[in-house]
Amino acid sequence: MKTFFVGIDVSKSWLDLVVCDEDQNQVEQPMNITNDLKEIKEFCEGLSSRFPDVKLWFCLEHTGNYGLLLSQVLEELKLTYSIVPPLEIKQSIGMTRGKNDQVDARRIAEYASRHAKKLVPTSLPNEKLLKIKSHLTYRDQLIKVRQQFKNSRKSHLVSNKSYDIKAIISDLDAKIEGLNQDIKAIDTTIEEFIKSCSKLNKNYKKIQAVKGVGPVIAVYMILYTNNFTSFNNPRKFNCFAGLAPFQYSSGSSVRGKTKTSQLRNRIMKKLLFNGANTAAMHDPELKAYYRRKMAEGKHHLSVTNAIACKLVYRMFAVVKREEPFVNLVR
């Protein structure tokens, strides 16, 4: 069966679509539809009826919530689709000139056609994970605002030594406390979402038995791994988080340092580094590992990165083995 690839450039209000065959030839004129349920459904059903003997594979860039409605319709109609990081598509194209939404849609369709063998079908997380994601995004926003107020308070405390601005400091204290309560309420809501789903709750509890893994890391791990189903091994997740080291060498003359990639999930790497620092203090095995590597002259960040990788391996192990984590060194 032939496959047609539908490249979709997603924006808040519009979807630009281009259909290409396996040889990257355009088979229909570029289309533009509004990003709403009715038009998306009509387009997908119309395309399926026009090409009944062809497999349709939709491809779009990861654009956050703007592509969510489209993904839901594609899943409802049981159509295959892949969501690809924008940087991956950009780097695969090479040097380009000019840009508009229809050109971008064509480039996405051509990318899908060229990389058909490597394309992985996407599926949306369940509704609870989507709700958890939204609550975590809001939580991060509140934490940033709280930090801004804390920094402002420090600045005003210095000014208060010269002139009386206790009213401003008191107001900032009230705002910071209010944000603390809001963040606690979100944490409670997220935990309720997890407890209401036995599969999520099971893994949530198991991975927290790994020292260095607290509730926040556990929630993010479940979210980014789609409850440990999106990554089939911990090495791939470490690549995603920016923890996996890569060699840099060529021939006999180029001998660079082995280092991690700058292409990483910054939130996940930061959280796992915090967890690694905690584990290096409280886990006997990892504490001994940290001391041994530091005695060998390794850099603190390099050792911390290695411990973060070990935490990921431990979390995947306890989930995949269906066994609780047991620390053999006490």
pLDDT digit string, tens, across residues 3-28: 999 999 999 999 999 999 999 899 88
Quick check: 330 pLDDT over 70? no
The pLDDT value given to residue 69:
92
Quick check: 315 pLDDT over 80? yes
Please state the rounded mean pLDDT for residues 154-178: 95
**Residue range 252-261, pLDDT digits in tens:** 554 555 655 5
**Residue range 95-131, pLDDT digits in tens:** 565 667 888 899 999 999 999 888 888 888 888 999 9
CA neighbor of 265 nearest in space, from 293, 241, 233, 230: 241
CA neighbor of 307 nearest in space, from 326, 288, 325, 321: 288
For 217, phi and psi rounded to 5 degrees?
-60, -40
DSSP summary character for residue 67: G
**Residue range 227-261, pLDDT digits in tens:** 998 888 899 999 889 887 655 555 555 455 565 55
The pLDDT value given to residue 326:
63
Residue 5 to residue 80: CA distance in whole angstroms: 10
**Residue range 37-47, pLDDT digits in tens:** 999 999 999 99
Instruction: Find out whether 276 and 308 touch, Cβ atoms under 8 Å.
Output: yes
The pLDDT value given to residue 169:
96
The pLDDT value given to residue 231:
86
Pairwise pLDDT comparison (93 vs 58), residue with the higher score: 58
